Amino acid sequence: QVQLVDSGGGLVQPGGSLRLSCTASGFTFSSYPLAWVRQAPGKGLEWVSFINSGGGTTTYVDSVKGRFTISRDNAKNTLHLQMDSLKLEDTAVYYCTKFGYGSRSMDSWGKGTLVTVSS
């Protein structure tokens, strides 16, 4: 029943911007922390950003700090990742994810949206 639909990926030049979105359903959205995770070509999964249930606490992996901004709109059941000053190494499939109840692990994933940064 839980569903996460991520979108917004595409092709962008280095230094450009993209805004990813995730629409959720099937659970009480405002009660759960969320995160964005990515997988670059030929590499493993990498946690990118976390946001708590109310949206007041956010964290980022060092490589994206100052460039990416995670946000959520609990009234609309949506999660976003604003990506600015994109670099070649940001190329990856990005997944929105939901934490399990009382857990530090994700139990639901979107299908992923591809971000390609290329000159």
pLDDT tens track for 8-40:
999 999 999 999 999 999 999 999 999 999 999
Which two tokens mark 102? 């009382």
Q: What is the mean pLDDT of the chain?
A: 97
pLDDT tens track for 60-115:
999 999 999 999 999 999 999 999 999 999 999 999 999 998 888 999 999 999 99
Which two tokens mark 42? 């030929």
Using alpha carbons only, give the angle 85, 87, 88 rounded to the nearest 5 degrees. Answer: 155
Question: Which residues does 69 contact at the CB level (< 8 Å), separation at least 6?
Answer: 58, 81, 82, 84
| pLDDT value for 104 | 87
